[in-house]
Amino acid sequence: MSLQNAIGHNGNGNGHNGNGAGPNGAVPGMNSTGVVIAHSTTPLPAGVHLPLYMDNHATTPLDPRVLDAMMPYFTGKFGNAASRNHQFGWEAEKAVEIAREQIAKLIGATAKEIIFTSGATESNNLALKGIAEMYRERGNHIITQVTEHKAVLDTCKKLEKQGYRVTYLPVLADGLIDLDDLRRAIVTEGPEKTILVSIMFANNEIGVVQPIREIGKICHEKGVLFHTDAVQAVGKIPVNVLADNIDVLSISAHKIYGPKGVGALYVRRRNPRVQITEQINGGGHERGMRSGTLNVPGIVGLGAACEICRNEMEAEAVRERELRDHLRNRLEAALDYVQVNGNMEHHLPGNLNMSFVYVEGESLLMGINDIAVSSGSACTSATLEPSYVLKALGLGDEIAHSSIRFGLGRFNTRAEVDYVADKVIDVVRKLRELSPLYEMVQEGIDLTKIEWAAH
């Protein structure tokens, strides 16, 4: 096959999508990694470039303004922020301290309460292991919930192996925890006293926002520390550690249009003063809580990303919510047997998790393979497992497998949303034409009453 054939035509005869280079400078017809994308023969709507990115909970593209802020710190201003005796070091340290302020401002903290890490996986590990170790004498009980990110769940599993007791709170059908379950789970006396509650601010799959302020209040009334993995919430919706009663909070730069491999942990210094045992030993950086030479360009990027979010978050949330609702309305108007997952009132603006019943999610993803979204299935080494988050809401394996997560972000446009809606509607209809189950349902057959013959 010639390259021209492999790239495919789209009506303008030159193998290009007619819109110039993609948003990330990719050669038309190829994505930025050089993968050849086969386009359909229909010209693309104005402003739509393929492949189209709508998976902003997985990661976000770097905002060009963030890159601009970072660039000088790769070259001329390359000093080590820990070098105390020359200008290169001072310059780097100054940049780090400005970033600390920018991050603190976004979440209502003070700069001294921000510890830099390599990302939220490390922040979550440091928070949970660091508090468990520091407060071991007080008690050995930790509370979390079943729909946390693996960075929290796997850390809890490790702590269980070390003798801690962990309670995994269930969630209701809409993805929210029941506050009475939390109240009941907290142990206030004895060796099994609860030392920490860790509940995520917003879920990365279903976008549900937990009642963080109330959770924090309950924890404080009972004298228990409260950590939240706020990776998906910070920069998207208002977060204020004081008003929200948060003691420890995890952030990641690459979810807010910053670079990958850098994050932060907020550690409260007053009422109460939280102490954390370090998990990485070395030069005593970050007030001894996290040793290691600071990633200055990355930290500058995280700071700049936070500053942009602080200025633009409100308007961005309105715009994303509108786009999200438009996508939802279009899909619901055109297709039957679709359902939205997660409580839509307490929800991230850019998240839409939908199940397309009688369609297999992976086939749907293949049918829309020039659009980047996520399915409700996770690849393990041997099988395709339905998402544990969707299963925790009570969804069966079939429906979980038929689910798609759309993650709208800063750079998505209305034209893109319409393109995605058209394409999903088209592919779902085609797949359903091939589905005997869908046909039976159309004929009014109750699938639950069928006795399937074994072969």
Task: List the catalytic residues.
Answer: 379
Determine, following the binding rule CB under 6 A, whether residue 149 of this chain makes contact with ligand PLP: yes
Our CB check for ligand PLP shows the closer of 10 and 118 to be 118
The H-or-E segment that residue 97 falls in is helix 87-107
To ligand PLP, the closest distance from the beta carbon of 229 in angstroms equals 5
To ligand PLP, the closest distance from the beta carbon of 315 in angstroms equals 24
Our CB check for ligand PLP shows the closer of 262 and 289 to be 262
- Of 121, 144, 341, 343, which one interacts with ligand PLP (CB under 6 A)? 121
Q: Which residues contact 275 (CB under 8 A, 6 or more apart)?
A: 134, 135
Our CB check for ligand PLP shows the closer of 232 and 402 to be 232
Determine, following the binding rule CB under 6 A, whether residue 51 of this chain makes contact with ligand PLP: no
Determine, following the binding rule CB under 6 A, whether residue 353 of this chain makes contact with ligand PLP: no
| β partners of residue 52 | 371
d(CA 184, CA 286): 36
Helices assigned H by DSSP within 75-165: 87-107, 120-134, 150-161
To ligand PLP, the closest distance from the beta carbon of 205 in angstroms equals 9
Our CB check for ligand PLP shows the closer of 120 and 159 to be 120
Backbone angles phi, psi at 227, to 5 degrees: -105, 140
- Of 48, 120, 142, 421, which one interacts with ligand PLP (CB under 6 A)? 120
d(CA 383, CA 362): 13
- Of 151, 208, 224, 389, which one interacts with ligand PLP (CB under 6 A)? 151
Determine, following the binding rule CB under 6 A, whether residue 200 of this chain makes contact with ligand PLP: yes
Our CB check for ligand PLP shows the closer of 140 and 228 to be 228
Pairing of strands 351-356, 338-340: antiparallel
The H-or-E segment that residue 249 falls in is strand 248-252
Pairing of strands 194-198, 141-145: parallel
Question: At 153, which amino acid appears?
Answer: L
Determine, following the binding rule CB under 6 A, whether residue 349 of this chain makes contact with ligand PLP: no
**What does the block give as tokens for 397?**
């394996």
Please give the radius of gyration of the chain, using alpha carbons only, rounded to the nearest integer.
24
Our CB check for ligand PLP shows the closer of 26 and 249 to be 249
Determine, following the binding rule CB under 6 A, whether residue 113 of this chain makes contact with ligand PLP: no
**Distance of CA 391 to CAs 200, 242, 375, Å?**
18, 33, 13
- Of 263, 303, 349, 361, which one interacts with ligand PLP (CB under 6 A)? 263
Helix axes 296-334, 414-433, angle to 10 degrees: 50
Contact 274, 267 (CB under 8 A): yes
Tell me which residue has its CB nearest to ligand PLP. 119
Determine, following the binding rule CB under 6 A, whether residue 79 of this chain makes contact with ligand PLP: no
Backbone angles phi, psi at 133, to 5 degrees: -70, -45
Q: Segment near ligand PLP (CB under 6 A), from 21-29, 118-126, 338-346, 354-362?
A: 118-126
Binding to ligand PLP in span 214-253, by CB under 6 A: 229, 231-232, 252
To ligand PLP, the closest distance from the beta carbon of 236 in angstroms equals 12
Our CB check for ligand PLP shows the closer of 252 and 351 to be 252
To ligand PLP, the closest distance from the beta carbon of 144 in angstroms equals 12
To ligand PLP, the closest distance from the beta carbon of 121 in angstroms equals 3
96 CA to centre of own chain: 25
Determine, following the binding rule CB under 6 A, whether residue 199 of this chain makes contact with ligand PLP: no
3-state secondary structure at position 364: helix
- Of 119, 303, 350, 409, which one interacts with ligand PLP (CB under 6 A)? 119
Backbone angles phi, psi at 239, to 5 degrees: -135, 125
d(CA 213, CA 219): 10
d(CA 276, CA 206): 31
To ligand PLP, the closest distance from the beta carbon of 339 in angstroms equals 23
Binding site for ligand PLP (CB under 6 A): 119-121, 149, 151, 200, 204, 229, 231-232, 252, 263
